[in-house]
Chains A and B, each alone.
Chain A
C-alpha cells in the first residue's frame, strides 16, 4: 500500500542491547549441558562469539562482514572435523548447531534474525534430550524455555519493563500447559525411527555384553548407572534369590568367554517350583536385544523369544527405556534332557592353557565317583582356598585361570566363574558361564528394586545327569558375604562407591526418595508410548483407538480449550468495574419506574430529578448518587465503599 516501513515488522526493527542480553542469556542456558560434553575449545569459541556480539552492541559499531563470519565458521567446522573425523554424526552435528548459535548472533541485526536465533534456541533444547531426559535436565530446559519465551515477548514489546514481559511469558506458558498436556496424551504417537540414525547414536550405552573377559564386569561394577528397575506385585524375593539371568557364555578361548549365536527354542513354562513372583521390569537401554528376568522365567513378555540356554530376547535392540511384564518361578523341577551337541559344546576347552588347573580337575575326576562328587570337591576347594574378593584384581597373564587359582588368589565374580567353569569342563562335567545381575536395592518408599550396573555378576551352571542344569555361584562359595548382603559388605570400604558406604545413611534415604521420583518420571513421562495411549483411550471409552480417533479427540479437546480461553479473555475484558455495574443497575431500577436517564444528564441532575419523581425513596437515591460521584470522580476508592454502594443499590426499594 505505502512504501513506509512497517514499525512492527521484525525485519525493520533493530535489536537493542537489552534484547541481546536476554537472547545471549537464553542461549547460554540452553548450551550449558552441552559444554560438559563438548571439547573445551568449542565451548570457549561459542562463548567468545556471544561475547563478541555483545561487544559490538555495546560499542555500537557495525557488525563484522559476512566473509569474516564465514571464515570463522569454516575454521570451527575444520576443528570439529579434526576432533571427530566427520561432521554428520550426532555429537559433531549438535556441536555444530551450538556453534551456529554464536555465528547466528554475529549476523543478528534485526528482530527477524534475533527471532530466528531464539527458534534455534528452542531447537537446541531438544538436542540436550538426546543425551539425557532426567528430571534435572527437564527442569533446566524448562528454565531455558521460559527465558527464550520471555526474550520473544521482549522483542514484540520493546518499551515494556522486563518484569512485565516475564509476567506475560509466565502467563503464556501457564496457559499453554493444559494444551501441551492434551497434546502429549492424545497426539498419535508413531513408534520408532523414521530413518536410519547416525552410527554413534547409541555408543554411550553401558551394560553386559556378548563376551566376558577378566576386567569387564569389575569395570562395570564401578558404575552407578541403573540397569533396570523391577516392581513386584505382592511379595518381594529375598536378596539371595535375586539372580537376574542374562547372556550365557559357552565358548572360551583361554581368555575371553563368548555367548556365540543363540539357538531359539519354544518356551515351555516350568512347573513345580517353590514360589512365583509377578513383576514389571523397566529396562534401561543397553543396545542389545536380551531382556533380564529373575531366574527362572515362568512366562514371557509379549513379543519376546526364548533361547535354548534360557535367555529371553526382545524383538529389537533395546534403545529406549523398555517396560515389560513377566513372572518367575523359584527352583522349578528342571529339565533333565539336553541336546548332546550342547553338552559337547559345554565341555570344550582350548588346548594348552592352564595346565595346573587341568591337572587338578583330572585328579578330582579320578577320585570322584560321580559328577556330583566332582562338584562338591570343587566347591570345597574354592571355599577353603582363601580367596579374596576385590574390585581391583591383579592383572593376569595368558594362563589366567592358573594364575588366579594358585598365585594371585584375588578376583571378581568373572574370575571365580571363569575358573570354576574351566575346572568343571576339565573334569568332564558340562558347564557354562551365566552373566547377569545379582541383588538389587530395595527402595523403601515405592518398594521398587533398583538393579545397577554395580550389581553385575557372573556365575556358573553345571549339568548333572539326574538333575539337569544347576546354578552354582562360585563367588558365593568363596566369598559368602557377596550374595547375602550385596557388594557393599564383600569388598573393602575404600573400594566401594561413595554412596554405598554405611555411614552415609541419611544420604541413602535422600537417594531412595529421589529415585522413587525418577522412577515415576521414567514410567509416566518418558515411558508414555502408543500402548499406554491406547490404554488411556479405552479408559475414556474409545476402544482400539487408531490415529483417526486420536486426532479427532485431540482436535475436539483443543478446540474446546481454545474457545474457553477466548471466552475467558473476552469476559475479562467485557466486565466493567463494579462501581459502573452498580450504577447501571441503579439506572435500570429507576428507569423501570419511569425515570429514565437522558444521555446528557449527569449523575447529580439525574438523581435530583429521580428524587423529585419518587419522593418515597428520596434519601437512598441521593445517597447512592453521592456515593457514586465520590467513587467515580473522587480521589480514593476503597473496597468498603464499593461494597456499600452495591449493597445500597441492591436494597433500593421503589414503590
Chain B
C-alpha cells in the first residue's frame, strides 16, 4: 500500500528518501539514507526473549537472566551491525549496452565497500522490473551488480529506483536504502525482419547485388571475431588448424543503399516504420552493404561497420516526429 502511494507521488518519495533523482557520480549511502526495521525473524526472536525472561523470573535463574540479557544485547548490537553493513557504501553505475526493444537491458552497478571489513549478502533489486541480485562486497573491494530489466520502449531508459537491502549478520533486522543513479540504457526500436528495399534511383554509383549473391562471393579468410555469424565460420579451415576463421565475402563494395523513411508504405504507423528501418539497418550491416539512413529531418551519410550501424540505430531510437 505504502509502495503504491510512493509510486504515485514521486515528490513525496523524494522527500521521504532524502534525495532527488537521478544522482550523479558515486552515491554514498550516508546513514541518513539507511533505514532499519525488525524483520519477521526479529519479531520471533523478541518473542523468544520474552519467554526466556519470564522463565528466568519465575524460576529465579540468575544464568537465565544472563542468557536473556546477552541475547537482548546481541539483538541490539546486531541492529547496529546490520545498519553498518549498508552504511557508506559507494554506489556508481556502469555503462549499459544498448539493446533492442523487447530484449533485456543490463544495468551494472558497482558497490564500493569503502571499509576494512567485508559486507556480505547485500541485495540489489531493480524496483521497476523486480530483477534482483545478491552480492558479497569484499573488504576494501568493489562488487559488481547486474540488474536485468526488460526494454519495453525505444529511447533512453533511465535505471529508475534501485533498492539495496541487507539482513546480515543475524537476519533479525532488515536495513535498506534506495538509490537512483544517473544510469540509462539506449533502447533501439524492435527490429522487424523484412526484405531490404531495392537500391533506389539515388544510389547512383553501381548496382547493388542481391544479398544472397553478395554472400556467395568468397574473397578470403580472416580470424574469427565474436560478432561473426556461425554460418560464415570456415569450419573446414578450423578443422585443419587451431584458430577459428571466418570466410570473407565481398559484395559490391561501392554499392550504396539508402534506407529511406519514404520508401515505407504510407499506411504504417511511426513505431512500425522505425521497427522496419531498424530491421533494414541490421540486414544491411550484416549483408556488408554501404548504406545510409534518411528520416524526416535526419540524414546519416552512407557508411558501414558497427559504429555506423550504432549511429543509425541510435537515430531511430531517439527519433521524435516534429
Contacts and interface: CB of A to CB of B under 8 A. Distances in A.
Interface of A: 1-4, 6-8, 10, 111-112, 115-116, 119, 122-123, 125-126, 129-130, 133, 137-138, 141, 145, 149, 152-153, 155-160, 164, 168-169, 171-173, 175-181, 183-184, 187, 189-195, 197, 201, 319-320, 525-528, 558, 562, 565-566, 569-570, 572-574
Given A8-B167, A156-B169, A191 B84 contact: no
A9 to B, nearest CB: 8
A97 B124 CA distance: 39
A251 B62 CA distance: 40
A123 B52 CA distance: 7
A325 B44 CA distance: 44
Given A119-B44, A126-B52, A156 B61 contact: no
Contacts of B130: 1-4
B180 interface: no
Nearest to A564: B80
Contacts of A149: 74, 170
Contact of A160 (B61, B84, B136): B136
A573 B74 contact: no
A157 B115 contact: no
Given A145-B70, A159-B136, A574-B88, A126 B56 contact: yes
B194 interface: no
Given A197-B59, A528-B62, A562-B80, 17 more contacts: A4-B130, A8-B134, A10-B40, A115-B41, A122-B71, A126-B63, A130-B59, A137-B63, A152-B171, A172-B81, A178-B73, A181-B69, A184-B66, A187-B69, A525-B63, A558-B76, A572-B115
26 contacts: A1-B130, A2-B127, A2-B129, A8-B123, A8-B174, A10-B41, A119-B48, A123-B51, A126-B61, A126-B63, A137-B63, A138-B66, A153-B170, A156-B121, A156-B168, A157-B168, A169-B169, A178-B73, A184-B66, A193-B60, A201-B59, A565-B77, A566-B83, A569-B80, A570-B87, A573-B114
Contact of A179 (B31, B66, B73, B81): B73
B166 interface: yes
A125 B66 contact: no
Interface in B63-104: 63-74, 76-78, 80-81, 83-84, 87-88
A4 B129 CA distance: 10
B158 interface: no
B69 A573 contact: no
A511 B165 CA distance: 54
B77 A172 contact: yes
Contacts of B31: 566, 570
A78 B48 CA distance: 27
B120 interface: yes
B45 interface: yes
A475 to B, nearest CB: 37
Interface of B: 3, 31, 40-41, 44-45, 48, 51-52, 54-74, 76-78, 80-81, 83-84, 87-88, 114-116, 118, 120-121, 123, 127, 129-132, 134, 136, 165-171, 174
By Cβ-Cβ distance, the 5 closest A-B pairs, closest first, are A2-B130, A179-B73, A176-B73, A183-B69, A157-B120
Given A125-B67, A157-B136, A197 B58 contact: yes
Given A4-B132, A574-B88, A172 B78 contact: yes
Given A176-B73, A177-B70, A179-B69, A195 B127 contact: no
Contacts of A158: 121
Contacts of B44: 115-116, 119
Nearest to A320: B60
Contacts of B166: 8
Contacts of A193: 58-60
Contact of B65 (A137, A177, A184): A184
Contacts of A320: 60
A525 B167 CA distance: 34
Nearest to B51: A123
Q: Which of A8, A179, A562, A573 has the most CB of B within 10 A?
A: A8
A179 B62 contact: no
Contacts of B170: 149, 152-153, 156, 172
Q: Which of A155, A169, A176, A319 has the most CB of B within 10 A?
A: A176
Nearest to B61: A129
B61 A130 contact: yes
Contacts of A194: 54, 57-58
Given A133-B63, A187-B65, A194-B54, A573 B87 contact: yes
Contact of A573 (B64, B67, B84, B121): B84
Contacts of A574: 88
Contacts of A176: 70-71, 73-74, 76-77
Nearest to B55: A126
A168 B169 contact: yes
Contacts of B81: 168, 171-172, 175, 569
A59 B3 CA distance: 42
B136 A180 contact: no
A180 B63 contact: no
Contact of B88 (A2, A159, A570): A570
B111 to A, nearest CB: 14
Contacts of A155: 171
B80 A566 contact: yes
A109 to B, nearest CB: 16
A141 B169 contact: no
B80 to A, nearest CB: 5
Contacts of B131: 4
Given A1-B130, A193-B58, A565 B80 contact: yes
B31 to A, nearest CB: 6
Contacts of A156: 120-121, 167-171
B57 A190 contact: yes
A398 to B, nearest CB: 44
B1 to A, nearest CB: 11
B121 A157 contact: yes
Contacts of A570: 31, 84, 87-88
B78 A7 contact: no
A195 B54 CA distance: 10
Contacts of A526: 62-63
A574 B116 CA distance: 11
Nearest to A178: B73
B67 to A, nearest CB: 6
Contacts of B132: 4, 6-7
Contacts of A153: 168-170
